[in-house]
Amino acid sequence: MKFGIMVNTGPYTHQAAHTAYQFTRAALASGHEIYRVFFYHDGVHNASRLTVPPQDENNLIQQWSDLADAHNLDLVVCVAAAQRRGLLDAETAARHGKDAHNLAPGFRISGLGQLVEAGIEADRLLVFGD
Amino acid sequence: MPSSPPTKRFLCVNRKAPHGTGYAAEALEAVLMTAAFDQRLSLAFLDDGVYQLVQGQDTSDIGLKHFSATFKALGDFDVRTVYVDVESLEARGLTPSDLLPLHYEDEADDWAVKDLIQWVTRAQLAEIMDAQDVVLSF
């Protein structure tokens, strides 16, 4: 089956963010296809490469980056939700005159149309939120 | 925008109050984007989500954007159904007259102005959700 995944909560506060990752990994391991993972609302914080959790905790951001690298996943962060919350790629940071950018490897920033497209193209769109 | 089918049935489920969290405002952005893709789009308001449609909201003292007026434009975005859970309404002491009147102009009926809101029970909502291709839950 071809799944679309929507992640609406940030890491470490809500289990949903972690469950979304675990579902995605399990689906891939079972031979399913992940059409796209779309990060919205506070879910954009799952893409911050400046995240530094304690060493005895999972680094969810690194896990997403690794999973994207291993499976050529399309990890899309909503541009409007990201900019509201200070999650910027290099291009956006330059455009807004910011001195830093923090988008983790394997993620890209794009628009809400990517979510709608995932709904259209995937067999199932799963929403992970609170 | 992609112009080719497939067209799917999208339902945006709104369960949260308008300003306690950012969900409602950003859900509306997702609704408008879905409409731009020419999908069969409807909305449902249940639980505290029914507060999103309450008339006479004023956000000027809480520093948040007032977005509920945008709901009045849903008809112009080819949304044809807004489901409101009457049980959620009653549980909060609200009546249909407390909510924004939402209308659309029916192109197939000489542009007659029609109600966008359908009042439904929880049981009916379950059937409506079951009939969708995509449920965006906020």
Helices (H), chain A: 15-29, 60-71, 79-84, 90-95, 113-121
Tens digits of per-residue pLDDT, A84-108?
Answer: 999 999 999 999 999 999 999 999 9
Examine residue B88 and state whether it is found in any structural domain, yes or no.
Answer: yes
Alpha carbon distance A129, A125 (integer Å)? 13
Parts of chain B with a pLDDT under 70: 1-5
Q: Which residues of chain B form beta strands (DSSP E)?
A: 9-14, 40-45, 81-85, 103-106, 112-115, 117-120, 134-137
Alpha carbon distance B50, A57 (integer Å)? 39
Examine residue B97 and state whether it is found in any structural domain, yes or no.
Answer: yes
Examine residue B2 and state whether it is found in any structural domain, yes or no.
Answer: no
Q: What is the DSSP letter of A111?
A: -
Tell me which amino acid residue B2 is.
Answer: P
Q: Are B46 and B79 in contact (CB under 8 A)?
A: no
Contact list, B137 vs chain A (CB under 8 Å): 127, 129
Extents of the domains making up chain A: 2-128
Residue B90: the pLDDT is: 98
Q: Quote the domain boundaries for residue B88.
A: 12-137
CB spacing of A117 vs B37 below 8 angstroms: yes
Q: Among the CATH numbers 3.40.50.1220, 3.50.50.60, 3.40.190.10, 3.40.1260.10, which is that of A2-128? A: 3.40.1260.10
Give yes or no: A78 in active site. yes
ipTM comes to: 0.92
Residue of chain B whose alpha carbon sits nearest to that of A123: B133
Q: Mind telling me how many Å the CA of B67 is from chain A's nearest CA?
A: 16
Q: Are B30 and B63 in contact (CB under 8 A)?
A: no
Give me the number of domains chain B comprises: 1
Residues in CB range of A22: below 8 A, 6 or more apart: none
Examine residue B3 and state whether it is found in any structural domain, yes or no.
Answer: no
Contact list, B10 vs chain A (CB under 8 Å): 116, 119
CB spacing of B33 vs A113 below 8 angstroms: yes
Of A40, A111, A116, the CB nearest to B34: A116
Residue A62: is its pLDDT beyond 60?
A: yes
CB spacing of A119 vs B33 below 8 angstroms: no
Residue A117: the pLDDT is: 97
Residue B5: the pLDDT is: 58
Please choose, from the candidates B121, B85, B130, B102, the residue with its C-alpha nearest in 3D space to the C-alpha of residue B31.
B102
Q: Mind telling me how many Å the CA of B129 is from chain A's nearest CA?
A: 13
Contact list, B37 vs chain A (CB under 8 Å): 113, 116-117, 120
Of A81, A119, A129, the CB nearest to B134: A119
Examine residue B109 and state whether it is found in any structural domain, yes or no.
Answer: yes
- Which contiguous run of DSSP H or E holds residue A37? strand A33-39
Of A8, A111, A119, the CB nearest to B10: A119
Lookup: tokens for B62: 């809480």
Residue B6: the pLDDT is: 72
Other CB atoms within 10 Å distance of the CB of residue B67: 18
Residue B2: the pLDDT is: 53
Helix, strand, coil shares, percent, chain A, to 5: 40, 20, 35
Of B6, B30, B137, the CB nearest to A129: B137
Residue of chain A whose alpha carbon sits nearest to that of B36: A113
Residue A57: is its pLDDT beyond 70?
A: yes
Between A51 and B1, where is the model more confident?
A51
**Taking all residues of chain A, what is their mean pLDDT, rounded to a whole number?**
97
| Cα A68 from chain centre | 10
Please choose, from the candidates A129, A113, A124, the residue with its C-alpha nearest in 3D space to the C-alpha of residue A7.
A129
Examine residue B16 and state whether it is found in any structural domain, yes or no.
Answer: yes
Q: What is the CATH number of the domain that holds B74?
A: 3.40.1260.10
Q: Are B96 and B119 in contact (CB under 8 A)?
A: yes
CB spacing of A119 vs B22 below 8 angstroms: no
